[in-house]
Structure 1
């Protein structure tokens, strides 16, 4: 039997915010803190595979969290996508996610890279990895003098260190991992040493730190791996020339391992299109999406044994990941910020 849509039914569908007609619509409302143009292919591939159209709201985490709070139960968000463990943890404690049970996600995403499962499913899942690495000026600095995060606070590196703001989530996550590994007292001493060793006050983004190292303004800096790989892949003559001056280090490679962070997502608590939202998370764990994370934004896949063609990432060689759970790092964010405030790491 074919359903006939009368003018009255059409009017009702337009009047109700989440009508039966809208619930059956193939649509996904994505709230994303990712701002990478290369993700366009990621999203278009999902629509091509499923027929589900993605409506995106893109903003920084603070703006998205404020929007979700204001919208409350009436929020149209289906999926919330964040680019850092600290942000994911904040979304979780704010109650913005709902648990998801999925055999696909549980089989493909390692347990330490997804939220705790209390029997109802995990509230969030990691989908790509990025490392917090050390870059140095080849003419000014010996790599053995900056081989670990801890060494950056050594007096031998006074006046050489550059970073972005200590309060940026990327650095908060790194400091959270150091608290977990070394304890709060040792981490505070490290932070004091970092402030003493600054070549300039923290400013700019990670690309600015790499450029500062290349120019000689900084001897050494901390940056996310995908910024470094992006510059390695650049064909601009100025970038090619710049990167000849910069060396790369996997921090703590011979000891505790390098700090890695994630981009991750969860289904919004009041998702009006929950089924589509789960499909999207499962898609992000698919081979094709994992490939896009690598090829598009120079991030490592979280799913094991994904074949990639990113020569810049491959050129960085093998790495050792620190054995610290993402959840533990995220829970240390408040303690990390207090340390930064006490030592004046702006």
Structure 2
């Protein structure tokens, strides 16, 4: 596999394009990091004889695809969340894929109704809770608006895609007016201005700055797996919200075939491979995410957190309410 790493700003790509094209290949634009993609791609190359070239970037891939148009060399885009998948679709940059293999491996609520994108993994928007000050108790996202949490909540920016997706799911379940009221009360309960990443929220709880926070499951997994970060992570429980009703909100990583893919047949082979048992198992072990294919084992650490009920709201519905979610976050001045 030939990979080219983008610098942290934009998509300032090494050499600016794919290199050494092969007769049978797939070219990928990826928001996902190389440590996660490389093991899967290398196994695919070995099993199929198809070469894979990857461009990694932190942002700007949709803009690059639009700029390249019909001349693009990219066949497949790998993304880190539902908002980027929908951005590709909304801008008309991806194509539908008709594959019985993918449809059998990826549940309907985790793929686009028009088959223009497909989830590869899921992650839960958990509640991190102080072992000392909150404990291992049932909680819901709605509870975070209650007076008992006044001055006790930490979170990252409301404009971050993970937060926007959660707010979007709240709109889908409760409507715009009730979600705005909920957001207003959650803001009033914040211990500090929204800031930092998910690991930063765990650090804040450990430091006594707040009692609970929102955070993705795999960040917690990475911290408890790191000897230097484990003492901090050991201060919190990872809780699955809304277990008595609809289940915990999930987000996804995913894939989409580009509109002008020059190697469409080979790209679809890779897409099918990524939803299969082997690739799904690698995803689960390497990044501590949840496989989308039913029956694939979770990592030992993730399994130790126990089974949970997931919200089966269609990802397309979550994405549909994203503009409204952004509007409400502005209206309540959540980040100010």
Provide the alpha-carbon RMSD of the alignment.
1.9
Give the Å deviation of 1:142.
4.5
In the TM superposition, residue 303 of structure 1 has moved relative to its aligned partner by: 0.6
1:298 lines up with 2:288 in the alignment? yes
1:71 is matched with 68
Residue 25 of structure 1 corresponds to 23
Equivalent of 2:120, from 115, 119, 127?
127
Scaled by the length of structure 2, the TM-score of the pair is 0.90
Q: Which of the residues 246, 256, 262 maps onto 1:256?
A: 246
Quote the offset at 1:39 in angstroms. 2.7
Partner of 1:289: 279
SS at match of 1:230: helix
Task: Check the 8 A contact 2:202/2:232 in 1, yes or no.
Answer: no
Matched, 1:140 2:141: no
List gaps (5 residues or longer) in structure 2: 1-16
Q: Find the residue that maps to 2:328 and give its secondary structure.
A: helix
Between stretches 33-42 and 275-284, larger displacement belongs to 33-42
Q: Give the 3-state SS of the residue equivalent to 1:305 in structure 2.
A: coil
**Does 1:320 pair with 2:317?**
no
Contact 2:147 2:189 in 1 (8 A): yes
Give, in whole Å, the separation in 1 of the partners of 2:41 and 2:197. 26
- Write the distance in 1 (CA, Å) between the matches of 2:189 and 2:209: 13
Correspondence for 1:207: 199
| Unmatched segments (≥5 aa) in structure 1 | 1-16
Structure 1 residues 130-279: aligned runs within 5 Å = 130-144=123-137, 147-234=139-226, 236=227, 238-279=228-269
Give me the TM-score of the superposition, normalised by structure 1: 0.88
Give the distance between the partners of 2:318 and 2:180, measured in 1 at CA. 16
What's the counterpart of residue 332 of structure 1? Answer: 321
- Report which of the two has the higher share of helix: 1
Task: Return the match for 1:101 from 86, 95, 98.
Answer: 98
Relative to structure 1, the CA distance from residue 334 to residue 42 in structure 2 (aligned partners, 3 Å threshold; closer, same or farther) is same
How many residues end up aligned between the 2 structures?
Answer: 318
**1:7 corresponds to which residue?**
none
Q: Secondary structure at the match of 1:38?
A: helix
- After superposition, residues 55-94 of structure 1 pair within 5 angstroms as 55-61=53-59, 63-94=60-91
Flag as ranges the 4+ runs of structure 1 deviating above 6 A.
none
Q: Does the CA contact (< 8 Å) of 2:34 and 2:56 recur in 1?
A: no
Say whether residues 1:344 and 2:336 are aligned partners: no
Please give the alpha-carbon distance, in whole angstroms, between the structure 2 residues aligned to 1:300 and 1:36. 19
User: For the residues of structure 2 that align with 1:205 and 1:75, how far apart are their CA atoms?
Assistant: 34
Does the Cα contact within 8 Å between 1:153 and 1:190 map onto a contact in 2? Answer: yes
Tell me the CA shift for residue 297 of structure 1: 0.4
